[in-house]
Structure formats: C-alpha cells, structure tokens
Amino acid sequence: MAKYMDMDTLRFLLFECHEVQKLLEAPRYADFDQDALNILLDSFKDFADKELYPYFREMDEQAAYYKDGKVIVHPQLEVVLKKMAELGLIGANYDHEDGGMQIPESIFYSLSHIMDSANNNVTGYPSLTTGSGRLIVTFGSQELKDTYVPKMIAGEWGGTMCLTEPQAGSSLSDITSSAIPTEDGYYKISGQKIFISGGDHEYCSNFVHLFLARIDGAPAGTRGISLFVVPKFRPTADGGLEDNDVFTAADFPKLGQKGYVTTHLVFGEKENCRGWLVGEPNRGLKYMFQMMNEARISVGVGALSIATAAYYASLQYAKERPQGRRLSDTGTKNVEADQTLIINHPDVRRMLLLQKAVIEGSLSLAVESAKYSDLVHVTEGEEHDEHLLMLEILTPICKTYPSEMGRVSISNGLQVLGGYGFTSDFVLQQYYRDIRITSLYEGTTGIQSLDLLGRKVTMKNGAALKLLAAKMQESIMAAMAYKELKPYAMDLGEKLKLAQKVIGHLLQFAAQGKFERFTADATVFMDFFSNITIAWQWLKMATSASKALSDNTGTQKAEFYQAKIHTMKFYYKYELPKTLSAAYTLVAEDELTIQKEEEILF
C-alpha cells in the first residue's frame, strides 16, 4: 500500500499543536477521550486503506456516466456507503438526538482528510448526504427530520445541495426555480438545477434534494429565496415511495473527479413535483450560509488532501528513481559514479518541500478552523462570539489557499516525475485534474476573495481582523521563546504590520464610496493575506515542534519535529516573501481592471 497521507502529522496537529483534546472537557463531547478519538481515526484509516484507496484510479478510468435517464457509477460506491453507515460515519457530527455520534468537527474533518487523500472521487457522496441532512436537522420540522434523516444516515438515501441554475451561476440573486404553495402543506416545485454533485446513481434508493427556489410573489434578489426538501421519490403514508417528477436530464463529463457524478436535474416537468419548506419562507439562503462555513472548509480539506496524496506519490518516486549526479566542489560531475536518487537534487528537494509546506500548512489551518467551529458549539456569550468571528474570517482562506496553492503543489509533484508525470502510468496526472475543481466549488476563488476583503475584514468594524491579529501576535510571542525561531517570529511580525498598512490603504476606497475599486484586487489580497495566515500556522507548528524537542514531551522521533522546523524555514524563505510583491500590487496606483465606458481592451 502506497502512503497517501501521514497519520503522525495529523495527530501532531490535533493533539500537540492545536490541542483539540481540550475540547473534550465540554459536556457535549463527554463520550470521548483522546484514546477513543485515536481509535476512531485508526479504524477509519484502515477502512480507507481497504475500501477507498485501491479504487481511486479505477474510478477515474471507469468514469461515472449518464445513459437513458440513468447514472452509472463505480460499484465500489455501494460497499463504501454501506460500510460508512455501519461505522456511523454519515452524519457522525450530528447530535445524539438526531442519530449522530456528536463527534467534534475537528475530528470529522480529520476523517474527511483521510478519505479525500485516499480517494477524492468518493468523499462527496457521503459528505453531501451529511451536509444536506444537517440542514434538515438544524432548520427542518420534526416531521421532515423523521421522514428523511434516518434513511440518509443509513446510507440508503443520498442528499444533495441544489443551488446553481443555468442562467444564474455564482449569482444566486438570479435563481428562478419556483415553489407554489398548496392547501395540502406542500409546494409545487419547478425548475432546473445544474452542476448537482452526486445527484443520482443506482446505489441509493432515493435522493433528498435541498432545493433553493422562490415562493410565488417573493421579493427579487437573495431575500426572496426559500429552502425546500424535494425528494426524487416522495415517501407515502404506508412507507412506500412514489415518483416525485424529478428527472435526471444529463451528466457533465469533466476534467477530473470523473468517478464523482455531476448531474443536471429537471424538477416538475410534469407538474407533479412536490417540495416541503425548511424553516421559514425567504430565509433559504441564510440557512444555506449557516452551513456554508462547513461546506467551504470541506472543500479546502478536499483540496489539501488531494495535494497530500500527490505529495506522497511524488516523494515515493523521488526516493526510488536514480538519475544524474550531484555537483562536486569543482563544479563537475563524476560520470563514472553511480547515479544519485533524484531526491538529492536541490531542485527536486525544493519541489518536495514546497508541497510539504503547502499541504501541512493548509491542514494546520483546517484543524484550527474546525476547532473554532467546535468551540462555537460549546461556548457562550463573548467567548462564543469571538470563536465565531475567527471561524468567519478563516473560512474563505481555509477554502481558497489549498485550492489555489494545492494546484501549484501538485504541478510540482508532477514535475518531480519528469516526463513520466505526464503519462497515465502514474497517478500525478489524475491529482492534477482532480484538484482543479476546488477553486470553483462552493464559491469560486473570486467569490471567496470578495467575501474575505469585502465582508469579513470589515465586519463589526474589523473585529474579526483585530482578533486574528491578536492571535498571530500571541503565536509570535510564544515562538520568541525559542532562539532558533526568533528571526522567523520577527519576520511574521513585520508581515503583520505590512498587512495592516495594506488593509488601511484599501479601506480608504471603501470610505470614499469607491466600492468597486476597494475590492477590485480582492483576489490579490486573498493571495497576500492567506500567505501570512499559513506562515502563522507554520510558526505555530514550529513552536510545538521546538517545545517537544526541548522538553521531551513529544510522541514522535526528533527527526519528525526537526522536519517541521525545517519546512517552516522553507516556507519563510520561499513563500512568505511573496507578500512583498502582493503588497506592492495592492497599493499601486494604476487602476487597470475597472471597466471604463470608452475603452476597448481585448
């Protein structure tokens, strides 16, 4: 079995760096201790080794497809859904009363990391079922819960999120699917939804679509959108199922994640499609967005996990492939000597270290963000509000950084293999294709960047930003205790000042009412600010590693911790300096991307 993720690093992040075991003091998690969490992680890794990883390439080669109204997917999906339900892992993060295991989100995402690293073509099916079921348990009536959730967490029915429509895309204001109230309590539904992941296949006997639509007469824009449960087959009083006029019109063949079907669904073509309102009318998008942090962190975890598997694939190759020779001090190579392994060439090491820096930095941020999501559940008052602020500001970064830099990381991994990386004999080309969707899922990078700069940085008079800066400052102080880390801690301090300067500059535009100018370079700002955020995570990791080395409290070998410190240094030499150029761009005067009436640019 090839290595596709590192359990030691995951455990280091959970229990040494971010100390999620402290969460377990809360009554909500009374069922668990650290040993129980470790057993859960290990048993899931075992499941992933046996049932997920071995099918990863097959699922790509035998892509999901649509034929005659049916969607055909790889048969291993049936096994996976059954076993995951048996292990209690669909809806594992729900409350006990809703049939869940009430596990912390930080552990739930850790399981996702294992799963996505093993086989990212499978994860979406159970994850979307968990996510859409969560909307029902959080906002739905008892009747909706009782009708749908037990079958969903049993893996028998699949769940989906039905947002996108052909004419609307990212612009949810323009959703036109309609819901007409009837006297019998249900709504008559009609509309078309595209890009619906896992929207149909033969291994679930029903699909439960969480569906955005406008109730007749609702206001324009996002304020007139409501959320419905629209099943493919509607449950009847006698426990049977009857057709609900939901039709799979097509699938979308695509660049990657070919094992994970993307469907085009048509609702109510025969005027016989019924939906049930979730919560109150016109609050649909609000409900969706309350789940959005989790969905976005999930995509980030997916991206970093694909990049993690790619890293280990390229690392294995680099450790086995001899080629060329190291340069001697005379600047020549001894052609009579044996070839060296390519891992010994500086440029190959640079590519491997970049990958390690990106994936572990991203995983650390994901664990920290998930921890805030847990803390939001188990705290109250000001403390709760602070954790929510942290979750809100970190989420767009948590989603975007691994999606963007994971792609760069995988391209480096492919490059490590030379020409072989481009061939289908090796798996790198699949990772290169699969990860490309993550910059588009759940809000594109452009949308995430607008969210970060236009909403999160400014919200509550910059409260989230101040809080984050204070946390970074704390980490800087903690790192200063270790002589080896001091220069890096000071470097991060400088970059934090730079960030404050850049943000101050940009906010002037908002203050002047130049909103388009304020956010015009939001994506560059994302690049800039997420770089600093990941540098912060690396400083935290290096501090934990230094602590473990100095007081012998660590559970890993010394080399493990030394490698973390080395990778932190790599990040600070090769990645963090990129903030200098981004800052230059962000404060430059030229306005070049805002449409002017007269110009013909392209």
Tell me, residue by residue from 152 to 171, as one string, x for binding to a second copy by CB under 8 A and - for no binding.
------------x---xxxx
Footprint of a second copy on 322-381 (CB under 8 A) = 323-331, 333, 335-336, 339, 343-350, 352-353, 356
Check if 442 is active-site. Answer: yes
Under the binding rule (CB under 8 A), the answer on residue 317 touching a second copy is no
Buried b (16+ CB within 10 A) or exposed e, 213-235: bbbeebeeebebbbbbbbbbbbb
Question: Is position 195 an interface residue for a second copy (rule: CB under 8 A)?
Answer: yes
Q: For residues 241 and 320, what is the distance between their CA atoms, to the nearest angstrom?
A: 56
Site size for a second copy (CB under 8 A):
107
Say if CB 546 and CB 484 are below 8 A apart. Answer: yes
Report, in Å, the least distance between residue 283 CB and a second copy.
17
Cβ proximity to a second copy: between 147 and 298 the closer is 298
In the DSSP assignment, the letter for residue 483 is: G
Closest distance to a second copy from the beta carbon of 539 (Å)? 15
Q: How far is the CB of 498 from a second copy (least distance, A)?
A: 12
240-258 residues labelled b (16+ CB within 10 A) or e (exposed): eeeebbbbbeebeebebbb
The β-bridge partners of 213 are 226
Q: Which residues between 397 and 416 bind a second copy (CB under 8 A)?
A: 407, 411, 414-415
Q: In the complex, what is the shortest distance from the CB of residue 584 to a second copy, in angstroms, rounded to a whole number? A: 4
8/242 with CB nearer a second copy = 8
Of residues 378 and 524, the one with the C-beta less far from a second copy: 524
Residue 252 makes contact with a second copy by CB under 8 A? yes
594 binds a second copy (CB under 8 A): yes
Q: Residue 419 phi/psi, 5° resolution?
A: -55, -30
Contact positions with a second copy (CB under 8 A) in 445-474: 445-446, 449-450
What is the C-alpha to C-alpha distance for residues 517 and 591, in angstroms, rounded to an integer? 8
Q: How far is the CB of 442 from a second copy (least distance, A)?
A: 11
Residues 66/250, Cβ–Cβ less than 8 Å: yes
Of 23-31, 273-281, 295-303, 431-439, the window that binds a second copy (rule: CB under 8 A) is 431-439
Considering only residues 73-102, where is the footprint of a second copy by CB under 8 A?
none
* Size of the chain in residues: 602
Alpha helices for 4-123 (secondary structure H): 7-11, 34-47, 56-61, 76-86, 105-118
**Of the candidates 256, 275, 279, 302, which one interacts with a second copy according to CB under 8 A?**
256
Q: What is the 3-state secondary structure (H, E, C) of 374-390?
A: HHHHHCCHHHHHHHHHH
Non-local CB neighbours of 401 within 8 Å, separated by 6+ positions? 300, 361, 362, 365, 530, 533, 534
Q: Is 71 in contact with 65 (CB distance < 8 Å)?
A: yes
**Is 2 or 220 the residue whose CB approaches a second copy more closely?**
220
**Quick one: tokens of 454?**
């236009």
Residue 177 is a binding residue for a second copy (CB under 8 A) = no
Q: What are phi and psi of 554, to 5 degrees?
A: -70, 160
Name the residue nearer to a second copy (CB basis): 182 or 339. 339
Q: Is the CB of 497 or the CB of 578 nearer to a second copy?
A: 578
- Measured from the CB atom, is 171 or 550 closer to a second copy? 171
Binder of a second copy out of 422, 462, 507, 554 (CB under 8 A): 422
- Name the one residue in this structure whose structure tokens are 């109230």: 181
Among 151, 436, 456, 495, binds a second copy (CB under 8 A): 436
Q: Which amino acid is at 180?
A: I
As a whole number of angstroms, the distance between CA 388 and CA 372 comes to: 7
Q: Which of 442, 494, 516, 591 is catalytic?
A: 442
Binders of a second copy among residues 541 to 570 (CB under 8 A) are 559, 562-563, 566-567, 569-570
The residue from 145, 188, 433, 471 that contacts a second copy (CB under 8 A) is 433
Range 201-240, binding a second copy (CB under 8 A):
220-222
Greatest distance between any 2 Cα atoms in the chain: 89
Can you tell me whether residue 191 is helix, strand or coil?
A: strand
- Phi, then psi, of 588 in degrees rounded to 5: -65, 150
Is residue 574 part of the contact set for a second copy (CB under 8 A)? Answer: yes
Which of 7, 72, 218, 440 is in the footprint of a second copy by CB under 8 A? Answer: 440
Shortest distance in whole angstroms from residue 240 CB to a second copy: 36
Task: Please tell me the distance from the alpha carbon of residue 195 to that of residue 262, in angstroms, as a whole number.
Answer: 5
From 209-217, 283-291, 507-515, 545-553, span contacting a second copy (CB under 8 A):
507-515
Residue 103 and residue 117: Cα distance in Å, rounded?
21
- Active site (catalytic) residues: 442
